[in-house]
Amino acid sequence: MSKKVLVVEGGFSAEREVSLVSGHGIAEALREEGYDVKEHDLHDVRKFLDALYEYKPDVVFNALHGNWGEDGEIQGLLDMLQIPYTHSGLKASAVGMDKQLTKLVCHTIGIKTPLGEKTTYKHFVDEGTMVTMPYVIKPVCDGSSVGVHIIRNNDDLKNVEFNDDDEILVEKYISGHELTVAVVEGKALTVTEMRPKEGFYDYHAKYTDGATEHIIPAQIPEAAFNEAMRYAEKLHKTLGCKTVSRCDLRYNEEDGVVLLEINTAPGMTPLSLVPEQYKYCGGTYSKLCKILVEEASCRKM
- Active-site residue set: 15, 144, 207, 246, 248, 261, 263, 267
Task: Report the alpha-carbon angle 255-258-260, nearest 5.
Answer: 140
Q: What's the order of all strands across the beta sheet hosting 116-120?
A: 116-120, 167-172, 135-139, 149-151
Cis peptide before 275 (omega within 30 of 0): no
Report yes or no: 178 and 201 within 8 Å, Cβ to Cβ: yes
Task: Report the alpha-carbon angle 248-253-254, nearest 5.
Answer: 95
Among 258, 46, 15, CA closest to 144: 15
Torsion of CA 142, 97, 183, 109, to 10 degrees: 130
Question: What residues contact 196, with CB distance under 8 A and at least 6 apart?
Answer: 178, 202, 205, 211, 212, 213
